Amino acid sequence: MKNKLFFILLILMFAFNGKAQELSIDADIRPRLEYSNGFGNLIPDGLDAGVFVQQRSRIKFGYKQEKFSTYLSVQDVSVWGDTPQISPSDDNNSISLAQAWINFKFGNGWSTKLGRQALSYDDQRIFGGLDWAMQGRFHDAALLKYTKEGFKLDIGIAFNQNGPSRQTTLFDPNNTGNARAVFDYKGMIYVWLHKDWEKFSGSILLANNSYQNLDPTDNQTPIDGTVNRQTFGTHLVVKPSKGLSIMTNIYGQTGEFTEEIDLSAYNALLEVNYKPGKTLFGLGFETLSGDDNGGADGEIKSFFPIFGTNHKFNGYMDYFYVGNHANNIGLNDIYAKTVIKIGEKSSLLIKAHYFAGAKSLGDNIDDYLGTEVDLVFTQKVLSFATLKIGYSHMFASDSMEILKGITNPADTQNWGWAMLVVKPNFLKWSPKPAQ
């Protein structure tokens, strides 16, 4: 009976409008085994490495026609074994709504996109979907979009609350019991402009985020009022000749860090890639400004990439800007990479980073923090399945020990992982339009 009702609803939905339509049902299932012996921070000597398997199980429903589309994605993110085998329910609250949005097209290139959605722009340094993290990153937002002849414009607005309230609009960023990050915004408005030419593309981003004031005595209790922080800059890519590309980012941050402390910071990146054949070679440098006094002079000078996919930058071991290293000494990152194509279905990425603080940790302390080497092997198993195997090693300096507060780290700091990404399509139905 339930199956019959389901197909009746599908038939009615497509019969409602005679124009071309499409329904799709997809999955994203990715178990990942990790061996963690220094991931995210130096592991102290004498501690055993952590080993676990985490899995994303995501089901995605999409529907679109000429002037309307909608998307719904529900996911379970859990660690193997975190729910008892005979438990009557999932006690870990691991099921969540990943995305749920509707999109209306008005004609002449204009559309609006409303609801829970991933925001991803350019190289994902400032806004990214954070697909490496099993849960991903989403925003509850309303977008006004324009696309025409290589030009794109997005205007986004968001306003967050912990729940419905008839009296105040206080937004508790800690949201006790839900592990909400303290940098979650109360409100946001941004503008992104992008233009493509034959050998050049450029983007401009301007974003203002408002954050609920917190009681300075505990930095947790929300109080009346907000502070506003602005992030702005450009992302440019030029391709002067075949196989050669040059990319640069220039971003600044200003506004209020707190009611008493201002914010003034910058980020710059330059990367050159050359691919003469099947092998890619790349060199790059990125600097993120830092602060050596924690805002004691009334101004924080540390740049933080607010909503980016930070895992793809500054080393895969996530020592910087992945839930850490905020309001710190900043970072200078010199890196080199190569991607070697192995046959038709596999490749090997080799990447090395040289890390140094943008500001000093103190007198007579070397700015050099360490060197990281990352290896990632990718093998296409099926048209909808990919196997990825990675290994990273951190050669940390004494300065890294001071920065991370680990006085007796283990001699070996490494991390290994293996992940199978399976994205099957269960249904893709495009009935012929009614005559």
Q: Quick check: 434 pLDDT over 70?
A: no
Looking at residues 216-244, what average pLDDT do you find?
Answer: 89
Tokens found for residue 271 = 């990367």
Q: What is the pLDDT of residues 370-415, one digit of tens each?
A: 999 999 999 999 999 999 999 999 999 999 999 999 999 999 999 9
Q: What is the pTM assigned to this prediction? A: 0.91
The pLDDT value recorded for residue 12 is 45
Sequence letter at residue 59? I
Q: What is the pLDDT of residues 341-356, one digit of tens each?
A: 998 899 999 999 999 9
C-alpha radius of gyration, the chain, whole number:
24
Report DSSP state, residue 307.
B
The pLDDT value recorded for residue 219 is 67
Task: Tokens 């997809």: give the residue.
Answer: 26
The pLDDT value recorded for residue 90 is 60
Report DSSP state, residue 89.
S
Looking at residues 353-368, what average pLDDT do you find?
Answer: 95
Q: Quick check: 108 pLDDT over 60?
A: yes
User: Residue 426: beta bridge partners?
Assistant: none
pLDDT class of 174 with cuts at 50, 70, 90: low
Looking at residues 408-425, what average pLDDT do you find?
Answer: 97
The pLDDT value recorded for residue 13 is 54
Looking at residues 147-154, what average pLDDT do you find?
Answer: 95
Q: Quick check: 182 pLDDT over 60?
A: no
The pLDDT value recorded for residue 18 is 53
Q: Quick check: 175 pLDDT over 90?
A: no
Q: Quick check: 6 pLDDT over 60?
A: no
Q: What is the pLDDT of residues 286-331, one digit of tens each?
A: 999 999 888 889 999 999 999 999 999 999 999 999 989 999 999 9
The kind and range of the H/E element at 427 are strand 425-429
Q: Quick check: 262 pLDDT over 50?
A: yes
Helix, strand, or coil here: 332? strand
- CA dist., res. 268 & res. 286, Å (int): 6
Top pLDDT among 14 and 192 is at 192
For residue 108, how many C-alpha atoms fall within 13 Å in the half-sphere facing its CB? 0
> Which residues neighbour 149 within 8 Å (Cβ) at sequence distance 6 or greater?
none
Task: Tokens 């099993």: give the residue.
Answer: 134
Q: What is the pLDDT of residues 79-89, one digit of tens each?
A: 999 888 776 66
As a whole-number percent, the residues of the chain with pLDDT over 70 amount to 91
Cα angle vertex 158, ends 152, 161, to 5°?
165
Q: What is the pLDDT of residues 21-78, one digit of tens each?
A: 899 999 999 999 999 999 999 999 999 999 999 999 999 999 999 899 999 999 999 9
Tokens found for residue 58 = 């995501």
Tokens found for residue 218 = 């505990």
Cα diameter, the chain: 80
Domain boundaries, the chain: 2-429
The pLDDT value recorded for residue 291 is 94
CATH T-level fold of 2-429: Porin (2.40.160)
Q: What is the pLDDT of residues 185-210, one digit of tens each?
A: 999 999 999 999 999 999 999 999 99
**8 Å CB contact between 309 and 131:** yes
> Which residues neighbour 183 within 8 Å (Cβ) at sequence distance 6 or greater?
173, 211, 304, 306, 326
Q: Quick check: 178 pLDDT over 70?
A: no
- CA dist., res. 328 & res. 424, Å (int): 43
> Which residues neighbour 167 within 8 Å (Cβ) at sequence distance 6 or greater?
none
Tokens found for residue 131 = 């697909």
Q: How far apart are the first and last CA of the chain?
A: 31
The pLDDT value recorded for residue 168 is 78
Top pLDDT among 153 and 179 is at 153
Q: Quick check: 285 pLDDT over 60?
A: yes
Tokens found for residue 62 = 């999409």
The pLDDT value recorded for residue 176 is 41
The pLDDT value recorded for residue 70 is 96
pLDDT class of 224 with cuts at 50, 70, 90: confident
pLDDT class of 166 with cuts at 50, 70, 90: confident
Which of 353, 259, 365 is CA-nearest to residue 312?
Answer: 353
Give the sign of the dihedral formed by CA 164, CA 170, CA 171, CA 173: negative
Tokens found for residue 33 = 């085994």
